[in-house]
Amino acid sequence: MTDYVSLKDIPKYFGLEKGDSVWLSSDIKSLLYSCIEHGDSRDMNVLIDGIIGEIGPEGTLLIPTFNWDFCKGKTFDIRTTPCKTGVIGKTALKRDDFKRTQHPIYSFAVWGKDADYLCSLTNKSSFGADSPFSYCKDVNAKNVFIDVECQHSFTFVHYVEEQVGVCYRYLKDFTAPYIDGAGNESIRTYSMNVRDLDMDVFVTIYPLEEEFREAGLSRRYTVNDIPMKTIEIGGTYDIIARDARENRSRKICTFIGQEE
């Protein structure tokens, strides 16, 4: 692009509509450099507010605030445990209009119509059928990617893997102290569908992305020379599930589960 797009106007390019549920994935280094170069605001609240403006009060915004320290036995405090998935998640956690979902490993900062529902979920498994990931499938959330590739950031793939069952992942329990929103501490156990390190499996997302595009589920674009894309999550489920069963994008192994 030759004309600079201000930070507040970038969400207009995401292809969002009023009432959409949006999952934002991002690496904002290039975005910040672009803002600095053009004397624009570097406050990510401006970007967040721009997304909210596009989807309106009937929409829902989910921003990853993942943190894996619970897996090491460290205390998770839903009020203060930082996210390890970028500046925008950290920014959202500081806002009064965002809430945090309950899972201590894969939590989201959420805003909008379905925020209370998402925060009421008590899923034990990170990628369980009763998790925010299942919600994103059911409502066909739009996953917006800012300068990140699916290979490293399309976490929804792990949800599908758990639902269909793959031989190179298994559910593992983790137990540690948990402090809830009222400050009450307890010992809780949560699980994650972890990779079996004894199996040499590498999942390649790039062929799946081409299928998403051919199915009209994915759109790539650039804003201020920064690569971005929007993927409609719900429609990708069957493509990923079929790929997992047929082992087309991974080392050959046996399909061991049944889709619910």
Q: Where are the alpha helices (DSSP H) in the chain?
A: 29-37, 44-55, 87-93, 115-120, 132-138, 150-153, 156-164, 206-214, 233-246
Q: Give me the pLDDT at residue 197, please.
A: 79
Q: What is the pLDDT of residue 255?
A: 41
174, 71 in Cβ contact below 8 A? yes
pLDDT by 10s per residue, the chain, length 260: 469 999 999 999 999 999 999 999 999 999 999 999 999 999 999 999 999 999 999 999 999 999 999 999 999 999 999 999 999 999 999 999 999 999 999 999 999 999 999 999 999 999 999 999 999 999 999 999 999 998 889 999 999 999 999 888 999 999 999 999 999 999 999 999 998 877 766 667 778 899 999 999 999 999 999 999 999 999 999 999 998 888 765 554 444 443 33
| Residue-range domain boundaries for the chain | 7-246
Distance in angstroms (rounded) separating the CA atoms of residues 92 and 45: 8
Q: Please report the pLDDT score of residue 154 as a whole number.
A: 93
* pTM for this model (two decimals): 0.92
213 near 221, Cβ under 8 Å?
no
Closest CA to 253 of 191, 203, 193: 203
3-state secondary structure of 192: strand
Handedness of CA 7, 8, 12, 14 (dihedral sign): positive
Task: Give the residues across from 176 on adjacent strands.
Answer: 188
In sequence order, what are the residues at sequence separation of 6 or more whose Cβ sits closer than 8 angstroms to the Cβ of residue 167?
A: 196, 199, 253, 254, 255, 256
